[in-house]
Structure 1
Amino acid sequence: MTEPNIFTAFLPAAERAAYGRSARNRVSRSDHSHFEAGRDRPDPIGVIERQSATRVPELVPIRYGRMLESPFRFYRGAAAIMAMDLGRFPDTGLRVQLCGDAHLLNFRLLASPERHLVFDINDFDETLDGPFEWDVKRLAASFVIAARANGFPVKEQNSAVQTCVQAYRERMREFAGMGTLDIWYAQDDTDHMRKLLASSMDKEARRRADEATAKARTRTHLQAFAKLTEASAEGRRIAPDPPLITPLRDLTAESGAAEQEKELQVILDDYAHTLSAERRHLLRHYRLVDIARKVVGVGSVGTRCWILLLLGRDDDDPLLLQAKEAQESVLAAHTHGERYDNQGRRVVSGQRLIQTTSDIFLGWTHVVGLDGHERDFYVRQLRDWKGIARPETMGPDLLRLFARLCGASLARAHARSGDPVAIATYLGGSDRFDRALTVFAQAYADQNERDFAALGAASRSGRVTVEEL
């Protein structure tokens, strides 16, 4: 379990460094190599089932179906299992605002409000205050799992992990020497990414990087609008694609749909109050015209998620928002972090703290549903210049380049919320921590495969119901 947060940023640098060095007495760098499930480890399928109990029942089989597609897809849906595992071991006590689900597919190209492309963390559903190494370990293990899926030998798997962790450690060292505002303003735009990778990018890597950048710029809200909507007698409306996208009008009887639409209008109205005044003014230029339930991701499948279609001047002036249910972070049971009265606010606060440029429409709300249950939501734009990595298409060299980007980006996120001097001193100048996490990542990838097999057995025995789409 973690110790209460000790905020060290106001102390002299020498004292902050001493605090980081003393953390080695709690957990040495080499100790991070250790992972053993133990006989008292709770049933991993039970952990997933407890999450499923609070979700939309008819969507839960889709979640299991997606998790059974591959060990990597399972890993994406098993953040609660890994949080349980990490929480059973001693930690450094060097706390940051954690992403909470820092696997490699949660790093991608995003659009800043100034319309620049930046590389950053994308998913914050599990964000919470906790020990920095939990994010690094989840990211490291994801590279082993992805490399195994590509058939890479162990040497190449380990190389990706070491590259990732080394980039984290070296960039944290850079931040330790920077001023507070310089750290806050730092961002990984395309120019910085090229500089970071210049020494190791060959012609093919540059081509792939340019291609990914160009593709991300095409993934605008207008592209999403064209893909997700269709013309109707009433105007542009969300196109059904059940069960993945189901318009509200198709989910309930006409009377029930009207009541649910009122509920979602309340979500929208209350959410607007969490925006700054100028953004509330901007939102008032749009009117809500359609709503649909959407199935998203892997680990999030079954949580309530709505697409809200708003139109401005006319049918060619859309705004697509996503209102996603926010439940308690999977980390909450394993840390002594701050407890929030609204889980949507937790997600938004965490995102604003560790992401360099957040969506201008990012906000939160709370609603009492027609079923009497109280639920929290956070709201953001559905899509805005998102470039998503495809690790299955990467060779070993390209995967290492991506690992370097992810490790460096995670260090930037942690340096904003934690103490980079203490963390950098703890990590030190040697590769001891890097090598330890390589051993850990291999061990945890093995455990992930065993848990994946356990879910398959639960499906075959009828313990869980699976739907493949």
Structure 2
Amino acid sequence: MAIPVAFTVSRSPRERAAFGRNARAHTPRSSHGRFEAATERPDSVEVIERQSASRLAELVPIRYGRMLESPFRFYRGAASIMATDLGSVPDTGLTVQLCGDAHLLNFRLLASPERHLVFDINDFDETLAGPFEWDVKRLAASFVIAARANGFPAGQQDAAAGACVKAYRQRMRRFAGMRTLDIWYAQDDVDRMRELLASSMDRRARRRSAEATARARTRTHLQAFGKLTRVTAEGRRITPDPPLITPLRDLLTDSSESEEAKELRTVVDGYARTLSSERRHLLRRYRLMDMARKVVGVGSVGTRCWILLMLGRDDGDPLLLQAKEAQESVLAAHTGGDHYDNQGRRVVAGQRLIQTTSDIFLGWTHVVGFDGVGRDFYVRQLRDWKGIARPETMDPGFLRLFAQLCGACLARAHARSGDPVAIAAYLGGSDRFDRALTRFAQAYADQNERDFASLGAAVRSGRIHAESL
């Protein structure tokens, strides 16, 4: 397994800082402000089609339909396109464990195992070791794209992207002076969020922050249980809503109940072996009742995703797990690949390295499907105190505040796996890096709109088929 750091313990802080500053020689901070599509840049629709080739054909049109709803929705599904663009230009060589898809909607309120609300990264499908700036660029561009969707003028678009990058740089510089364990224990809980934004939040922003926190506490597994399940003659089962939610029993043809039970046991037994002994003991207190295929997100549509309904003491004691297919990271082709025997394990390892507190039921497995093909999955709770941002409801001031939160959070994630001393030295104390990435964000938002238009043209020409669901 690759270690995503660009330093060793044998180097002193001074040597690590020199390493970071020396990276400016081959990749100046100002160079990040330029983006021009490479001469040999592949057709963006072709990149998406290649990725879709390994997905469920009947669901791929839903993916395209969701991507065509807006340039921002397109961006969420186009991580593979941006990975191709980022991989074609010189990088800093300052390596961290990347989120790989660090757009603003992948930052949200989550529940820690201690039942505290924390602000953290939530999606790790593309996580892999790579240059720190790739995540920062993807995050900054997402704020420009979101601001454009809200009709904000260019100055306010720049302000959101700049606030994100500045928060990243300033917090990374603080991490550079901290003890190693203090960095590892750093956490963005609700109190920390208020501290970060205290000087910037007005009364309205404080009220909206409090409302978002309250909403997140209501988004529990019990809420999902009530919404997604129903009582049938056979007992509690997942409610069908095809093609978005399709129970396993409806996908099996000419098969018996014993075959269905075998399929369910295979998923759970393999996954349970990846848990620590005490969590495996906890999982055994639940019995598996039902399983259904679910369509999730935008970029993930077409991959195999399963909901597992489990019950403990009785019908009012549920556990909902999500087993999501893990394919090779879109970054792998541009970083020399990865060294994992299971892509689900890659996702879990990256999440545990980046997140301060991960789901207690986080694990992975390998499953041979109905077609005889083996696939990798990672497993986690379906919903547990998740507060999701709604950028379309944000005014320019609140979008800037959210950008600060995301930038600071990303810095904490990168400081855990990379070298904060070297990265901070590269970034420096001026706003040169901030200004460069703001220019990049605008240029890439333009490219994203061109790629969005290309997908629309491909649908209109009949090259690909899209469905709105």
- 34-43 or 390-399: which moved more? 34-43
Aligned-residue Cα RMSD (Å) equals 1.4
Residues 1-80 of structure 1: pairs in structure 2 closer than 5 A: 6-80=6-80
- Displacement of 1:256 in angstroms is 6.5
What residue number does 1:266 align with? 266
Q: 1:6 to 1:201 in 2, by over 3 A?
A: closer
Aligned residue pairs: how many? 468
**Conservation of the 8 A alpha-carbon contact between 2:4 and 2:417:** no
Q: Distance in 2 between matches of 1:264 and 1:22?
A: 54
SS in 2 for 1:118: strand
SS in 1 for 2:357: coil
**Conservation of the 8 A alpha-carbon contact between 1:367 and 1:376:** yes
- Displacement of 1:250 in angstroms is 1.6
Residue 154 of structure 2 is aligned to residue 154 of structure 1: yes
Deviations 1:237-292 (A, max 9, x none): 11111111111122222517753542332121011011111000000000000010
What residue number does 2:443 align with? 443
Residue 243 of structure 2 is aligned to residue 243 of structure 1: yes
**Conservation of the 8 A alpha-carbon contact between 1:130 and 1:337:** no
- Displacement of 1:368 in angstroms is 2.0
Q: Distance in 1 between matches of 2:279 and 2:296?
A: 26
What residue number does 2:131 align with? 131
> Which runs of no fewer than 5 residues in structure 2 stay unpaired?
none
What residue number does 2:82 align with? 82
Q: Distance in 2 between matches of 1:4 and 1:299?
A: 25
What residue number does 1:357 align with? 357
Per the normalisation by structure 1, the TM-score is 0.98
Q: 1:95 to 1:256 in 2, by over 3 A?
A: farther
Deviations 1:106-165 (A, max 9, x none): 000000000000000000000000000000000000000000000000000000011000
Q: Distance in 2 between matches of 1:9 and 1:210?
A: 42
**Conservation of the 8 A alpha-carbon contact between 1:200 and 1:401:** yes
- 177-186 or 364-373: which moved more? 364-373
Deviations 1:152-198 (A, max 9, x none): 00000000011000000000001000011000000000000000000
Q: Distance in 1 between matches of 2:330 and 2:458?
A: 22
Q: Distance in 2 between matches of 1:317 and 1:406?
A: 35
Q: Distance in 2 between matches of 1:137 and 1:162?
A: 11
Residue 213 of structure 2 is aligned to residue 213 of structure 1: yes
**Conservation of the 8 A alpha-carbon contact between 2:77 and 2:298:** yes
Structure 2: which amino acid aligns with 1:411?
A: A
Structure 2: which amino acid aligns with 1:164?
A: C
What residue number does 1:280 align with? 280
- Displacement of 1:337 in angstroms is 5.4
**Conservation of the 8 A alpha-carbon contact between 2:38 and 2:85:** no
Residue 427 of structure 2 is aligned to residue 427 of structure 1: yes
What residue number does 2:387 align with? 387
Percentage of pairs with the same residue: 79
- Displacement of 1:231 in angstroms is 1.2
Q: Distance in 1 between matches of 2:344 and 2:203?
A: 43
What residue number does 2:454 align with? 454
Q: Distance in 2 between matches of 1:113 and 1:290?
A: 25
Structure 1: which amino acid aligns with 2:413?
A: A
Residue 422 of structure 2 is aligned to residue 408 of structure 1: no
**Conservation of the 8 A alpha-carbon contact between 1:129 and 1:337:** no
Deviations 1:367-410 (A, max 9, x none): 22231211000000000000000000000000000000000000
SS in 2 for 1:200: coil
Per the normalisation by structure 2, the TM-score is 0.98
SS in 2 for 1:58: coil
What residue number does 1:464 align with? 464
Structure 2: which amino acid aligns with 1:327?
A: Q
> Which runs of no fewer than 5 residues in structure 1 stay unpaired?
none
**Conservation of the 8 A alpha-carbon contact between 2:193 and 2:405:** yes
SS in 2 for 1:143: helix
**Conservation of the 8 A alpha-carbon contact between 1:348 and 1:363:** yes
- Displacement of 1:39 in angstroms is 2.9
Q: 1:5 to 1:202 in 2, by over 3 A?
A: closer
